[in-house]
Amino acid sequence: MAREFTRVGVVGLGTMGAGIVEVFARNGIDVTAVEISDGALERGRATLTGSTDRAVAKGKLAEAERDALLARVDFRVGLDALHDVDLVIEAVPEHLDLKQRIFAELDRVCKPEAILATNTSSLSVTEISVATTRPNQVIGIHFFNPAPVMKLVEVVRTVVTSADVVADVEALCERLGKVDVTISDRAGFIANALLFGYLNHAVGMFEARYATREDIDAAMKLGCGLPMGPLALMDLIGLDTAYEILDTMYRRGGRDRRHAPAPLLKQMVTAGLLGRKSGRGFYTYERPGSPKVVPDEFTPLVADAALADGARAIAKVGVVGSGTMATGIIEVFAKAGYEIISVTRGAEKSAKVCEAVKTSLNKGVVRGKISESDRDDALGRITWSATLEHLADVDLVVEAVIEELSVKKALFASLDEICKPGVVLATTTSSLPVIDVAMATQRPADVIGLHFFNPAPIMPLVEIVQTIRTSAETSATARAVTARLGKTGVVCGDRSGFIVNALLFPYLNDAVKMLEASYSTADDIDYAMKLGCGYPMGPFELLDVVGLDVSLAIQQELYLELREPGFAPAPLLEHLVTAGYLGRKSGRGFRDHTRR
């Protein structure tokens, strides 16, 4: 017979514990909430009341419900209070010895049939379980932060966890309105194993001053639709907790250097900069525990006027190319009021691009996004040409031709001869070094990367890629133009993958490796990232949309440039590409798209 869970215990009321208490109490389950000291208990209580008060203020919880919820929680100091609970979830700091001590004590205090669960993110549930005399009743119940919001729970069964314990915990998750994925005991389980390499990489980028914290976060939010940027997420997780998770994953997960905590993390933890909970981490918060970011000495002065400082005036723009990106970019510039000269390799291609721009603008009219007269004005601003010489007097050229270095270099050499002095020459390359293109000209200071995302008219992000030769004036011009296009520009250095692809593709590649290792299924991995981390698509859904061949090519570039062993493309990805399984475009990738 399935167990009844009428009273549960939660040990440790920090970032996770307080949220877990709320999840149970919201679902009508009595909770004994335990801390180590009166002070910590009061902080835990304040977190819970703060969160439920916010829910009331937002109209998500009635006052009476909040009162009933709070009345279900019995706040206590010391583990002895847990003698009558049916299940305990431990959420103390991520240290094996501490957790083992607590489990030995819980084993002594709790009734024999009680289930003992850990919320650990990276430690071995098996190692924790052997501190008790009932390892078959020990299980991992890994909630996601913030626990009341995130739908996913990873249920971690060890080799000795009883099947009935797993089944009862799965049923409990359902009662809590959560979606569970049940997996075996491996460092980082699904979500963290895929998340933390990415987070650590983002910290490394920030540490190397590759881009600012705001730009790294904006890039991932706007480029990938993530609910938070990686550095803001680190602050939410807690830098001490993140450090411990990375450290454990590094040691347990095959010493992948990508999990070796970035040195900056250790320094910040030592300095007491723990993220939201201490009021300061990568960002500064209104007060400890507050989600509200306040300006500090690193906050950029974002006034548009300041952006334009030193920027050259741009009125006439040349766009070279006739593919998807060129078409979208022409539309974006035309809508923003620039005069455009589109240069393709022939009248036929120009006619096709023109048709595509018209179709897209017409769709905008149908959807009420642009008026008919604005559409006509935008189209009227575009001149169609097949001759590069027509770019002699433009102020900015945006190149969006085929992704081949020799072609781009030859084009830039020609532009160098044709264009007037002072023109800004931009490439939209997503994987080639901008400096290679810049050095094909006699004016590398005027060359910059403007990496638009597909579809350009919709995606709000542009990566502005500065080479070591790009002048401040060119960069200011690129930022001013991007702002006038209504896009968010993020500035970064000239490294393979810039910000977004460098952070995104290794994560996708890791997901493929996880599938290849048969740790979980494509469906569960997709669920884990969507429901545990709020990603708009799971990694396999995204790979099928992007194209497996494109993904493989990007991953190969990253691997070649950075020589990071962990970036080596997953053999399964290579095999699928060889087999012609390229994703949606070929009808089959990780999933079969022909049967719909």
Ligand X SMILES: NC(=O)c1ccc[n+]([C@@H]2O[C@H](COP(=O)([O-])OP(=O)(O)OC[C@H]3O[C@@H](n4cnc5c(N)ncnc54)[C@H](O)[C@@H]3O)[C@@H](O)[C@H]2O)c1
Residues of span 252-291 touching ligand X by CB under 6 A: 277
Among 135, 188, 230, 238, which residue interacts with ligand X (rule: CB under 6 A)?
238
192 given a catalytic annotation = yes
User: Rule CB under 6 A: is residue 34 a binding residue for ligand X?
Assistant: yes
User: Rule CB under 6 A: is residue 202 a binding residue for ligand X?
Assistant: no
238 vs 364, which CB is nearer to ligand X?
Answer: 238
DSSP annotation string for 537-580: S-HHHHHHHH-HHHHHHHHHHHHHHH--GGGSPPHHHHHHHHTT
Phi and psi torsions of 291, nearest 5°: -85, -5
Among 14, 229, 281, 583, which residue interacts with ligand X (rule: CB under 6 A)?
14
154 given a catalytic annotation = yes
Are residues 314 and 306 in contact, defined by beta-carbon separation less than 8 angstroms?
no
Q: Token digits for 339?
A: 């005069």
User: Rule CB under 6 A: is residue 195 a binding residue for ligand X?
Assistant: no
Tell the smallest beta-carbon distance from residue 27 to ligand X (Å). Answer: 19
**Annotated catalytic residue within 51, 94, 119, 121:** 121
Among the listed ranges 9-17, 107-115, 257-265, 398-406, the one in contact with ligand X (CB under 6 A) is: 9-17
Strand partners, 461: 488
144 vs 535, which CB is nearer to ligand X?
Answer: 144
Q: Which amino acid is at 235?
A: D
User: Rule CB under 6 A: is residue 93 a binding residue for ligand X?
Assistant: yes
User: Rule CB under 6 A: is residue 12 a binding residue for ligand X?
Assistant: yes
Interatomic CA distance for residues 270 and 189, integer angstroms: 27
Interatomic CA distance for residues 16 and 437, integer angstroms: 49
DSSP-assigned letter for residue 534: -
Among 121, 427, 477, 509, which residue interacts with ligand X (rule: CB under 6 A)?
121
121 given a catalytic annotation = yes
User: Rule CB under 6 A: is residue 245 a binding residue for ligand X?
Assistant: yes
User: Rule CB under 6 A: is residue 92 a binding residue for ligand X?
Assistant: yes
Residues with Cβ within 8 Å of 159's Cβ and at least 6 positions away in sequence, in order, are 126, 184, 185
x/- contact string, 133-152, with ligand X (CB under 6 A)?
---------xxxx-------
DSSP-assigned letter for residue 321: -
509 given a catalytic annotation = no
Tell the smallest beta-carbon distance from residue 253 to ligand X (Å). Answer: 15
Among the listed ranges 87-95, 262-270, 446-454, 493-501, the one in contact with ligand X (CB under 6 A) is: 87-95
**Annotated catalytic residue within 51, 142, 501, 557:** 142
**Annotated catalytic residue within 35, 90, 94, 154:** 154
User: Rule CB under 6 A: is residue 491 a binding residue for ligand X?
Assistant: no
The SS3 call for residue 435 is helix
> CB pairs under 8 A, 24+ apart, for 590-594?
590/515, 590/522, 590/540, 590/543, 590/544, 590/548, 591/522, 591/540, 591/541, 591/544, 593/544
Tokens 């094996």, residue located: 96
Among 36, 171, 379, 553, which residue interacts with ligand X (rule: CB under 6 A)?
36
Among 8, 9, 10, 17, which residue interacts with ligand X (rule: CB under 6 A)?
17
Tokens 């020990």, residue located: 138
290 vs 578, which CB is nearer to ligand X?
Answer: 290
- Rounded to the nearest 5 percent, the helix, strand and coil shares of the chain are 50, 15, 35
x/- contact string, 324-363, with ligand X (CB under 6 A)?
----------------------------------------
Interatomic CA distance for residues 185 and 171, integer angstroms: 20
Among the listed ranges 33-41, 178-186, 379-387, 431-439, the one in contact with ligand X (CB under 6 A) is: 33-41
Among 25, 55, 87, 91, which residue interacts with ligand X (rule: CB under 6 A)?
91
User: Rule CB under 6 A: is residue 241 a binding residue for ligand X?
Assistant: yes
Interatomic CA distance for residues 393 and 383, integer angstroms: 13
Tell the smallest beta-carbon distance from residue 19 to ligand X (Å). Answer: 8
x/- contact string, 100-119, with ligand X (CB under 6 A)?
--x----------------x
Interatomic CA distance for residues 242 and 584, integer angstroms: 36
* Torsion angle of C-alpha atoms 192, 194, 197, 202, degrees rounded to 10: -100
Are residues 10 and 20 in contact, defined by beta-carbon separation less than 8 angstroms?
yes
**Annotated catalytic residue within 122, 192, 322, 430:** 192
Pairing between β-strand 488-493 and β-strand 87-90 as defined by DSSP bridges: unpaired
Tell the smallest beta-carbon distance from residue 43 to ligand X (Å). Answer: 7
Among the listed ranges 8-16, 387-395, 540-548, 568-576, the one in contact with ligand X (CB under 6 A) is: 8-16
> 477 exposed, middle or buried (CB, 10 Å; 0-12, 13-18, 19+)?
buried
DSSP run (H or E) holding 98: helix 96-109
Applying CB under 6 A, the site for ligand X has a residue count of 28
Q: Which residue's CB comes closest to ligand X? A: 14
Among 10, 13, 172, 231, which residue interacts with ligand X (rule: CB under 6 A)?
13
User: Rule CB under 6 A: is residue 200 a binding residue for ligand X?
Assistant: no
Catalytic residues: 121, 142, 154, 192
Which residues sit at the interface with ligand X, rule CB under 6 A?
A: 11-17, 34-36, 40, 91-94, 102, 119-121, 142-145, 237-238, 241, 245, 277
